[in-house]
Amino acid sequence: MNVTTIQPATQSIAEAGAPPTSAAWAAAFAAALPYRAFLERHGTPEQRDRWEAVYARAALDDAQRDLLATFVRRMPVIVLAGAWCGDCVNQCPIFARFAEAAPAIDLRYLDRDALPEIAAHLRICGGQRVPTVAFFSEDFTPVLFYGDRTLSAYRTAAAAQLGATCSTGIAVPAPDALAAASHDWLEQFERVQLILRLSGRLRQLHGD
């Protein structure tokens, strides 16, 4: 009887590439700016006014503040953004509110064009969309990349642009768009915090 031996595949995958190292992400974080410094550096007076108008409306409710107060694991966050971008105007001030309520959130904003070699690793569907948010553990191990709009925003856009052949009833009304975005983004921040809290590697490091 002839026996055929199947050899394991050993060939490399062409153009697999290499993502940035933790040191590279840390360097990008160091080059990024806090919320107001980012606006001062990259925004025109008119653009800063638009961001500040959303910031003023993006106040957190008690439940959101209570949740953010439970965050204890440091989570560096890089927000790839453009001061000129409407989606950034409507979402990025929300992150500043989160960071104010949770000192564990170490938040920085990076202009889309400031570090092209880093931005190239933060594409969505092949495009350089903003805002794109990169979440890390304290040693800059990547945990999650998320953007450029949340699910509620995409549902609203789909209903407007694609038409509702069969209404689902789940599209968020326009007046609630900011509250919906805050809710959607807070879920992502909470998810990352729980990943970090439950990480065996980090629990061993912190003895908790």
Q: Which of 12-26, 58-72, 95-109, 167-181 has the least mean pLDDT?
A: 167-181
DSSP string, 144-195: EEEESS-HHHHHHHHHHHT--SS--S-PPPGGGHHHHHHHHHHHHHHHHHHH
- Give residue for tokens 């055929």: 4
Q: What is the pTM of this model?
A: 0.90
Question: Residues 36-70: pLDDT tens digits?
Answer: 999 999 999 999 999 999 999 999 999 999 999 99
Type of residue found at 51: W
Report how far residue 62's alpha carbon sits from residue 49's, in angstroms, rounded to the nearest whole number. Answer: 26
* Residue among 29, 119, 122, 44 at smallest CA distance from 84: 44
Q: In whole numbers, what is the pLDDT of the chain averaged over residues?
A: 92
Res. 172: pLDDT tops 50:
no
pLDDT, position 26: 98
Q: Which CATH number fits domain 22-199: 3.40.50.300, 3.40.50.720, 3.40.30.10, 3.40.190.10?
A: 3.40.30.10
pLDDT, position 164: 58
Question: Residues 12-30: pLDDT tens digits?
Answer: 788 777 899 999 999 999 9
145: left (phi over 0), alpha (psi -120 to 50) or beta: beta
What share of the chain in percent tops pLDDT 70? 89
Q: Quick one: average pLDDT of 98-119?
A: 98
